[in-house]
Amino acid sequence: MNGMSAGTTMRLTAGGNELDLSSDRFGFLADSTPLIPDADLLRQRMETDGYLFLPGFLDRNEVVAARHAICEELAKEDLLDPESPVDCAIAKKDLKTAFRRDIANNDGAGVLIRNIIYGERVMNFFSHFLGGEATHYDFTWMRTVSPGVGSPAHCDIIFMGRGTKHLYTAWVPFGDIPLHVGGLLLVEGSHHNEQVNKSYCTMDYDTACHNPNGKHPLVSAGFYESGAISDDMPELRNYLGGRFLTAEEYKMGDILIFSTYLVHGSLDNASDQIRLSTDSRYQLASEPLDERWVGEKPPGHGGESVKNVIC
């Protein structure tokens, strides 16, 4: 389907900026399920589109069970509205939350999550797609995006590009996510933008200026210390061309795999619930891994991971 149907009154924002929903600027992700048996076709589609959207690829019941466990953990911390069913993940008033590495990487709900996203079905898919044994980062990113916010535009490679550059992200919704709940938003074709590839995508988030008062290298290059490429997604899309792409409704059981060079962020969460999803990374086991994200306790960003340079 292209754009929103005529006469729609829906208003969608990213970072507080309204999206133009006309059909040349906004559309829905293509379903790559029919290509699954043929790895060459999957690779061609990834090369062309920069993503593979596989609705219903995962076992929905397993995702529902993991969501339940996540919601129970949030409820125990008193983050949910006590008047609503726990599994609805309705946020307590004025709650601010966006990222919970502990939930995805610890025991409890984390085990259920990791059994899904690193289970046989997903790993076999990546081995088939990559044409060799696949592996994944040990670290898992869990998004618990509270009402009113979303994720800014970025490419993943700047956060996790110290190993192979042939690295892929899988974004998995742990809830059904219609447009107003703020799911992932891609900029169509942006993985082919030469200027982005030659500038922003060569940066490394954990590089710092050693000299006093030196700005963060990302800032010196015209980007943001947060790692964002822009703070205005619609303006960025105007510049890059291509449409914004998302799903009309992401469903539990869906998986969206994309290039770590593809510009993406999310729609703002305009609902009263916490938007739950994970993102995880996959590559060939034979290629170098980014040391920040592997091992029993991956060091992650900051600390020892920071490399000082003279700016």
Ligand X SMILES: O=C(O)CCC(=O)C(=O)O
Residues in touch with ligand X (CB under 6 A): 143, 145, 151, 156, 169, 171, 184, 264, 266, 277, 279
Cα distances from 133 to residues 117, 168, 283, 286, 289, in angstroms, run 16, 14, 9, 8, 14
Pick from 198, 193, 296, 191: which is nearest to 239 by CA? 193
Q: Name residue 17's beta-bridge partners.
A: 14
**Residue 57 burial (C-beta neighbours within 10 Å; 0-12, 13-18, 19+):** buried
**HSE value, Cβ hemisphere, 13 Å, CA-based, for 198:** 3
| Shortest distance in whole angstroms from residue 201 CB to ligand X | 14
The residue among 176 and 311 lying less far from ligand X, judged by its C-beta, is 176
The residue among 4 and 229 lying less far from ligand X, judged by its C-beta, is 229
| Shortest distance in whole angstroms from residue 211 CB to ligand X | 31
- The string of DSSP codes covering 89-119 is -BBPTT----B-HHHHHSSTHHHHHHHHHTS
Pick from 155, 136, 162: which is nearest to 295 by CA? 136
| Shortest distance in whole angstroms from residue 151 CB to ligand X | 3
Joined together, the tokens standing for residue 289 give: 């891994």
State phi, psi for 304 to the nearest 5 degrees. -65, -15
The residue among 122 and 310 lying less far from ligand X, judged by its C-beta, is 122
User: Alpha-carbon distance 179 to 79, whole Å?
Assistant: 23
| Shortest distance in whole angstroms from residue 209 CB to ligand X | 25
| Shortest distance in whole angstroms from residue 99 CB to ligand X | 9
The residue among 35 and 229 lying less far from ligand X, judged by its C-beta, is 229
| Shortest distance in whole angstroms from residue 276 CB to ligand X | 9
The residue among 79 and 263 lying less far from ligand X, judged by its C-beta, is 263
Instruction: Give residue 45's identity as a one-letter amino acid code.
Output: R
| Shortest distance in whole angstroms from residue 256 CB to ligand X | 8
The residue among 136 and 143 lying less far from ligand X, judged by its C-beta, is 143
The residue among 28 and 171 lying less far from ligand X, judged by its C-beta, is 171
The SS3 assignment for 69 reads helix
